[in-house]
Amino acid sequence: MAAFLFLIIYQATKFMKQFFFAIVLVTLVSLLSGCLDMDFEEPNTGFTLSIGLQSTEERMVNEGDTLEVIGARFFINNIEMEAIPDNEIFEENKTLVNISDLGIQNEVRVASGELLGGEYVGISYDLVLPGFDTEVVDNDLIVRDDTGNITDVYSMVIVGLYNDDIFIFRSKYDERVEYSFDRNVTLPEKEGLLDIILMGEWKEWFRSDDGQILNPADPANQSAIEENFSRFFTAEINTVAEE
């Protein structure tokens, strides 16, 4: 009788193991089938924006005056991709850009995003003042009193040497700027890329209409330098899947 009971228990246990194994196998096959049938969505076309400074190895020289730029820092916001027929507008994001020619790479990535696809002709953004609630710590752009309260703000600063004396050019310039590509770029909705590098033409920032060097310490040159700064960036572009 005991042997008979043992045989029944053994057979029942064996059946349960087989049943459990069958359930596990079916479940795994179902999961694998689901994975194999899964459609992987193609990535949307994207863009990257970097800003840099042209080489500063050769300084400006004109009629006994010399000038060289060490670096520039400025705030940007409200980036738009200039497109046909309608621009693509991105979320507000006030960003501090810090460019120089002192490192290994003289451009910095400042933005990236996705594009809808279409025909693109340039990029634009606002040069802006930071708010008095900014947490940025920069003694040239953000002026604080002894208690740490902000007393004044600037949108941009350029640091360099004029006739071998250091200068710090500061400005409250607040303007929308636009930089055109060297060609119209047509990209698909998926699997494309538009890589943009804006290179600052620092020599043009301090060049007058008649070719003279603008003294950054002379208040009479303030507006001319500000306007030159807003104009003279060259857009270099690289693309993937351009049509």
CB 111 within 8 A of CB 93: yes
**pLDDT attached to residue 39:** 59
How far CA 7 is from CA of 10, 15, 141, in Å, comes to 5, 12, 88
Residue 29 has pLDDT above 60, yes or no: no
Q: Which residue has the higher pLDDT, 182 or 16?
A: 182
Q: What is the pLDDT of residue 158?
A: 98
Q: What is the Cα–Cα distance from 106 to 198, expressed in whole angstroms? A: 11
Would you state the structure tokens that stand for residue 222, as one six-digit string?
A: 């303030």
Whole-angstrom Cα distance, residue 77 to residue 134?
A: 14
C-alpha span between 69 and 168 (Å, rounded): 10
Confidence category of residue 64, pLDDT binned at 50, 70, 90: very high
What average pLDDT score do residues 224-233 get?
A: 98
Which pLDDT band, with edges at 50, 70 and 90, does 20 fall under? very low
Q: Is 12 left (phi over 0), alpha (psi -120 to 50) or beta?
A: alpha
Whether 198 has a pLDDT exceeding 90, the answer reads: yes
pLDDT at 79 over 50: yes
Residue 1 has pLDDT above 70, yes or no: no
Q: What is the pLDDT of residue 26?
A: 38
205, amino acid identity: W
CB atoms within 10 A of CB 124: 15
What does the pLDDT average to over 162-188?
98
| Residue 182 vs residue 2, higher pLDDT | 182
Q: Please give the helix or strand (H or E) that residue 223 lies within, else none.
A: helix 222-231
Q: What angle (nearest 5°) sits at the alpha carbon of residue 157, between those of residues 220 and 139?
A: 120
Query: Residue 50, exposed/middle/buried by CB under 10 A (0-12, 13-18, 19+)?
Result: buried
Mean pLDDT of 97-102: 93
Q: What is the mean pLDDT of the chain?
A: 87
Contact 80, 99 (CB under 8 A): no
Q: Is the pLDDT of residue 40 over 60?
A: yes
Q: Is the pLDDT of residue 28 over 80?
A: no
